[in-house]
Chains A and B, each alone.
Chain A
Amino acid sequence: MFSRWNWVACGFYLVLNICSPDASSGLVQSCGHIIPESPVLPLGSNFTALCILNESCLDFGNIYANQIIWKIKNRVVPKEQYHEVNKTVSSVTFNDTSSLATPLTCNIVADGQIEQNIYGITVTVGLPPEKPKNLSCIVHQVSRLTYHMTCTWDPGRHTYLDTQFRLRYSWPEDIFPDCIPKDVNNSCTVHDVHFFVNTEIWVEAANALGKAESDPLVLDPVDIVKPLPPQNVSVMSTVLPTVLALSWENWISHTVIKLKFNIRYRIVGDRNWMEVPSEDTASQRTSFSVQGLRPYTEYVFSIRCMKEDGVGYWSDWSEEKTGITTEDIPSKGPPIWRIIDTSHSPASWIVHLLWKALKPFEANGVILQYEVTVRDKSSLSSSLKKYNVTSTNHTLQLPNATYEVTVIARNSAGASPPSALLIPASYSKAPVKNLRTLPKHDKLWVGWTAPNSYVVKYVIEWCLVSSCSDCIIEWQIAPGDVQGIDLKGIKPFKCYLITVYPLYADGQGSGQSVKAYLKQDRPSKGPIVQTKKVGKAEAVLTWNHLTVDEQNGFIRNYTIIYKTIDGNETVVTVDPSKTEYTLSPLTSDTLYTVRMMASTDNGSRSGPDFTFTTQKFGKGEIEAIVVPVCLAFLLIVLLGVLFCFNKRDLIKKHIWPIVPDPSKSNIAQWSPQVPAKHNFNSKDQMYPEGSFTDVSVVEIEADDKKSFSEQDLKPFDLLKKEKSTSEGHSSGIGGSSCMSSPRQSVSDSDEGETTQNTSSTVQYSTVVLNGYRDQTPVQVFSRSESTQPLLDSEERSEDHAGGADSAAQRQQYFRQNGGQDETNTDRPCFERAKQITHANEGDLVGFVQLQISGQSSQPLGLGMEKNTQEAALSNVLQTSTEGQTVRPETVEENRLSVDEMPKSYLPQTVRQGGYMPQ
């Protein structure tokens, strides 16, 4: 029981010890402590620490040294490193301090395995400072009287400790305040520097583990001065065009430090500096005249200085100052050349004189004007003309002759030597030979072989050949002793025309030209090919040359690639001078794709594909087939016609069987009422109107022309009218009085589809016999094979019974036929009627009568002009009010004669050569 309370008290005591912030000096005493207290240890050394327990704790809590546990941070140190010195002291030893860490604690395990901390220390591990090395100093001049000395050194390895560096310097009898670097450990600047006394300078490094000093540096600070550069530098031109005078101020009094100088200069725009020889400026000075400069050239100057004896440092370069030299006379005349235009007139030239502006180092000033002198060397008078020009060209119109042209450039300082050019009347001298070019990087070398005679100089002309712009000539003069020059500013992939003229002392050689490229490329586009002519087995291709701008080089050849649709490709190489090529042999009626490629030395470019199809037949093949076929056809037709003609009777018999013509029946001859056959001129006469109302006559015409008389015409008209009014009786009997097709008959009858259809399908279907007067007509239907026109006498009788409509239709019919040529289907009939009328003058009367019965007065006019007899008739008619009742006498006579006919004979069909009574 006592023991338990004892341990509780002990634990409480230990806790108090631990919780106390200042156990050693606080209210509660610590149970122990560690020696040494917060050591700083060299890295890698061995270290032993002792934990000493207080006697009071031994008595109170039975705590002994053998219960001590050492810990680094929270890691227990192996027991092997412990050593129990006595019952209150325990030591721990570390062979290498690099294994140490903070904190190192001394702990104790009391009864009940309660671990309590007794004490802890902070262990600092590091390295002593190394000896600073490589100490060096420089004195910077800050102002006229102020100098700062900056010393730098190598601080050595990292110490892991707070290490102080200080720069120390002293005179033999005086020690100056130390210079302590701020923020760095390898340099320090001293602000109080005194010259001409040897000063000892060294660096001292110190930390908790030691101190080290650098080797001392003994020097006079004046020997390490870097002065300020000269100030207020000014550059002044002098009367001499090659001299500029410099002046400046020095920051250091020459009584203190004597200086020497460097002067450098360059032309404005040039990056390369030139320097005045150092021996010329090796002494103290504040001015210098720089000689050997170019006239009228702007120079940039800069100066630096250092101690005269060369011990120390050069200052920085001073600020740059510029100055310009005065003008001098131009050193040479401008290069001159000419372009002669002879196209103006054969007797005179237009001479464009060209000269180049002098380069700045040649002009030596501002060129104010050029003085051009032209001397005619051909004439004895040797006339001289002078021109003052401000530009670099001048154009003159001169007669063909030899001239000497001189040009002088003038500036404010004077005139240049003249440059002369001889313009001969003819180029009688030898030209250069073997003109050639060779690209050299970005320049184009032009070379030639000199003529045998002495050449003063050469003129090289060149221009860019372009289809878009004119050839603008550039030129350059080369001395007579060279045989090649480099042309600059030549663009790649452009064609240049280069011409070289040799200039002799007494004449000029003709120019030799060559085309050249600085660099070639493949053409920018390919040629566009098309066909000029396509045949069965060949095709003629044409194309245009690429423009010079598109070529990008010399076209070496064209390549034509053509293939059929199944891929058989053929390649043809064509000379570049050609613009046409014939592809042969080709397959007929085949689609070809052709592509053309232009090639330079550096590649090729294809144009667009072009397709064409070869023809199926060659030239003349179609004609050779068609013409014989046509001829054969014509021959067959001709033979057929001849055959038909020969066999016409046989054919006719099969096609048109013989139908008896009632009108030519013999029975008519024996009828006593029938007038004589030879008087039977017209049907009107034969069958007056109204007398055939009960008689139907079918007139079947044979091949006799006689049947196309008025006998045909009149009944047709009547028949037509009857069809309109009494369809039931006509019963499809259509027809025409013409020898026309059944279709023609249909068009005659404007009304009645049924009739038309019937008549169109049945050639002659029915012969209708109306009953005579009170007799019941007996309709007999019999099919006829005849195509003869039907008689329309019965329709005409119906017209009379029908009334005014029929009359009006008839009137229209006559107006159409009498007034103008109608395209009516009736027209042939009418024409035929007219022919007949003309053929037989006697029939005309009857015809006019028919017109009158149609109540038409207009057609009558024509008839009256022809015949006064007819006029008289018309007068009679005009007095009549009803045409149907008033009839001319002649008609009356016919009527009478016709009226007698029904009494005397039966209806009959007249047919020459046969009559069949019914």
Chain B
Amino acid sequence: MAAADSPSAALRRRDLCSRGIRLAGKMRVDVIDLLDAYVERQGLDVSSLDSSVAAVEGVPLAAVERWDEQTGTQRLLENLAAYRAFRALLAQMLEEQREQLGEADAGLGRALASVLLQVSAFAYHLEELLRLESRGVPGEEEEEEGEEEEDRPPPPPRLSIFEQKLRGLGVLRELAQWAVRSARDLRQLSKPSPATGTASGLAESP
């Protein structure tokens, strides 16, 4: 709390929000470009696959009800969870893409790596903001362990190549939506709202 009240912390917070908003914007642009390249390179027919692309497992949905009622911390935590999931999924996609195409399509690999870096950077922004909120950053292992303790999911089945492609398509689509939501979340956080926002958010946060 003390950190959140200091002027430097407020400045830092505003800077992080501003930068995060622009990073989210760029990430969305890059992801959309990547989506086009991905569909083309993977030989996917987007129009016929719309119904086949299911929600990506392990990633919170960007669309949420009563979005405006969420607290700041809640927003940050949801974002952090989503981008950590994206980071893992994109890393897996990158690995699979290298296995499938090798160095034949280095451009797609570079684009994937670039998006992965941006996701990673955005996650860093979120962690910093959470730190500024005097809120501990949940560890990735902790989350996983916690989840594991509560409801250990069965190990993911080995997917076929086509399924990998479909999952990749779903990851990128969801990431594009999350980029939009994240920008809105950070814009909401950067508003010089009364202390209620932060305080209440923090208070309400689990």
Q: Which residues of A approach B to under 8 Å, CB–CB?
A: 145, 171-174, 192, 194-198, 220, 222, 253, 255-257
Contacts and interface: CB of A to CB of B under 8 A. Distances in A.
B25 A197 contact: no
B117 A194 contact: yes
Contacts of B125: 197
B26 A173 contact: no
Contacts of A192: 110, 113-114, 117
Nearest to A256: B26
A172 B22 contact: no
A843 to B, nearest CB: 163
Interface stretch (B27-35, B55-63, B73-81, B148-156): B27-35
Contacts of B121: 171, 194, 196-197
B30 A145 contact: yes
A222 B33 contact: no
A195 B22 CA distance: 9
Contacts of A194: 114, 117-118, 121
B114 A196 contact: no
14 contacts: A173-B120, A173-B124, A174-B117, A192-B113, A194-B118, A196-B20, A196-B118, A196-B121, A197-B19, A197-B23, A197-B121, A198-B19, A255-B26, A257-B22
B185 to A, nearest CB: 15
Contacts of B110: 192
Nearest to B25: A255
A191 to B, nearest CB: 9
B19 A220 contact: yes
Interface in B25-77: 25-26, 28-30, 33
Contacts of A171: 120-121, 124
B29 A253 contact: yes
Contacts of B26: 195-196, 255-256
A190 to B, nearest CB: 13
Q: Which secondary structure dominates chain A's binding surface?
A: loop
Contacts, number: 48
Chain B interface SS verdict (over half): helix
A196 B120 contact: no
A194 B110 CA distance: 12
A222 B22 CA distance: 10
Contact of B29 (A172, A173, A197, A255): A255
B84 to A, nearest CB: 12
A194 B19 CA distance: 12
Given A195-B23, A196-B121, A197-B23, 5 more contacts: A173-B124, A192-B113, A195-B26, A196-B26, A197-B121
A172 B126 CA distance: 13
Nearest to B123: A173
A48 B121 CA distance: 54
A308 B125 CA distance: 23
A228 to B, nearest CB: 16
Nearest to B113: A192
Contacts of A174: 117, 120
B117 A196 contact: no
A256 B24 CA distance: 9
Interface in B89-121: 110-111, 113-114, 117-118, 120-121
Contact of B22 (A145, A173, A196): A196
A135 to B, nearest CB: 22
A256 B124 contact: no
| 8 nearest CB pairs, A to B | A196-B23, A197-B121, A256-B26, A255-B25, A196-B19, A253-B29, A196-B22, A194-B117
A260 to B, nearest CB: 16
A150 B174 CA distance: 34
A855 to B, nearest CB: 155
Nearest to A173: B124
Contacts of B120: 171, 173-174
A172 B124 contact: yes
B110 to A, nearest CB: 8
B95 to A, nearest CB: 17
A256 B19 contact: no
Contacts of A220: 19
Contacts of A195: 22-23, 26
Contacts of A172: 124
Contacts of B29: 253, 255-256
B138 to A, nearest CB: 15
B114 A256 contact: no
Contacts of A197: 19, 23, 118, 121, 124-125
A177 to B, nearest CB: 12
Contacts of B20: 196
Nearest to A253: B29
A248 B121 CA distance: 33
A258 to B, nearest CB: 9
A510 to B, nearest CB: 80
Contacts of A173: 120, 124
Contacts of A255: 25-26, 28-29
Nearest to B23: A196
B22 to A, nearest CB: 5
Contact of A256 (B25, B111, B113, B117): B25
Contacts of A256: 22, 25-26, 29
A673 B125 CA distance: 197
